[in-house]
Amino acid sequence: MRPSSPPATDAATTATGRSPGLAPTSARAALFLVPHPDDETLAAGVLLAGHAAAGREVHILLLTRGEKSAVKDILNGVRTSHWWGVPHDPTVEGYAALTERTLGAARYRELVAAAAALGVTEDRIHEAGLPNDGVTVEEVKAAVVATADAIGGDLGLWAPSYTVDDHPDHLAAGEAVRQLGLDDPIRWGSCRYYVLPPYWSDPRLGSVDWCWDDPMESETAARARNACRAYGSWQPQAGVFACGYHSVYAMFRQIDANPRSLTHE
Ligand SMILES: [Zn+2]
């Protein structure tokens, strides 16, 4: 449900004092497009936690479950992750070798746990069910419209950057939102684009109007850190495999040390 009255202040503002990461009407719901589980925590944990703490209705649209990730080979003992340090042996460790389907389910569970840490309940996680590494602009546009219709009311939209990134799924998601904004600026006028940490020094930032969102409250920073931990949990008998830490531990360590987000217009 929408909060009955808008919060007096926004929990997340920028170092410059602007709050471009936030929608103009603070009571407006927020929808975050997430191509793969972990993008939300690595690039937008501070934003999600800040909006949720401000009493805003926060939704996640998960485009894919990230089932094509090379972490499957790591968990199946074909490759070794730097974080774990030794090869896995599913037989010894008591779990069935992962398939794309079971890996997707495991990654989804990590997202649900991370979202809860950020203040977003599972009933506000929507799935587009698109194929990992096969996301198209048109499919994302259709999924955003359908999700926004189901949520109802005015929405602020956050999507991956349409230009400061190299992953085709991320770029397609950002481009879809950019095109929606061009097609119907009244409905989709409140859009911002988040940038993943590997691109925080990318020269392509020179072509966009970007800013930092730093947590203004210690609780927001704590929630962003706790979301990282959801991706490091290892309980194979419960179908929980630390997929995030096994694949991009350095990025989680970076966010844990200094939780912040970078967004552009
Ligand atoms: Zn991703």
What does pLDDT average to over the chain? Answer: 91
pLDDT surpasses 60 at 25:
no
Q: What is the mean pLDDT of residues 111-129?
A: 98
* 36 CA to centre of ligand 1 in angstroms: 4
Q: What is the pLDDT of residue 4?
A: 34
Residues of the chain above pLDDT 90, percent: 88
User: Residue 136 falls within a domain, yes or no?
Assistant: yes
Upper half-sphere CA count for residue 159 (Cβ side, 13 Å): 28
| CATH number reported for the structural domain that contains residue 119 in this entry | 3.40.50.10320
pLDDT surpasses 80 at 2:
no
* 246 CA to centre of ligand 1 in angstroms: 15
* 172 CA to centre of ligand 1 in angstroms: 11
pLDDT tens digit string along 167-222?
A: 999 999 999 999 999 999 999 989 999 999 999 999 999 999 999 999 989 999 99
**C-alpha triplet 13, 17, 21: angle, nearest 5°:** 40
User: Residue 57 falls within a domain, yes or no?
Assistant: yes
* 168 CA to centre of ligand 1 in angstroms: 9
* 7 CA to centre of ligand 1 in angstroms: 31
User: Residue 13 falls within a domain, yes or no?
Assistant: no
* 40 CA to centre of ligand 1 in angstroms: 9
User: Residue 99 falls within a domain, yes or no?
Assistant: yes
Per-residue pLDDT band at 256 (split at 50, 70, 90): very high
Per-residue pLDDT band at 58 (split at 50, 70, 90): very high
* 169 CA to centre of ligand 1 in angstroms: 7
* 97 CA to centre of ligand 1 in angstroms: 23
Per-residue pLDDT band at 26 (split at 50, 70, 90): low
User: Residue 214 falls within a domain, yes or no?
Assistant: yes
Q: What is the mean pLDDT of residues 37-66?
A: 97
User: Residue 20 falls within a domain, yes or no?
Assistant: no
Per-residue pLDDT band at 23 (split at 50, 70, 90): very low
Residues of the chain above pLDDT 70, percent: 90
The two structure tokens encoding residue 158: 């956050």
Sign of the torsion angle spanned by Cα atoms 111, 116, 117, 119: positive
* 94 CA to centre of ligand 1 in angstroms: 29
Q: What is the pLDDT of residue 196?
A: 98
Report the distance separating Cα 158 and Cα 193, nearest Å.
6
* 38 CA to centre of ligand 1 in angstroms: 7
Overall domain count for the chain: 1
Structural domain that includes position 166: 25-264
CA 176 to chain centre: 16
Cβ burial 19-55 (10 Å sphere, 16+ → b, else e): bbbbbeebbbbbbbbbbbbbbbbbbbbbbbbbbbbbb
Listed residue (3, 30, 49) closest to 230, CA to CA: 49
Q: What is the pLDDT of residue 147?
A: 98
Report the distance separating Cα 99 and Cα 171, nearest Å.
26
pLDDT tens digit string along 87-112?
A: 999 999 999 999 999 999 999 999 99
* 132 CA to centre of ligand 1 in angstroms: 9
Listed residue (162, 159, 153, 143) closest to 187, CA to CA: 153
Report the distance separating Cα 231 and Cα 242, nearest Å.
5
User: Residue 194 falls within a domain, yes or no?
Assistant: yes
* 5 CA to centre of ligand 1 in angstroms: 34
CB 31 within 8 A of CB 124: no
* 251 CA to centre of ligand 1 in angstroms: 12
Sign of the torsion angle spanned by Cα atoms 153, 158, 160, 162: positive
User: Residue 218 falls within a domain, yes or no?
Assistant: yes
Strand partners, 33: 61
* 165 CA to centre of ligand 1 in angstroms: 10
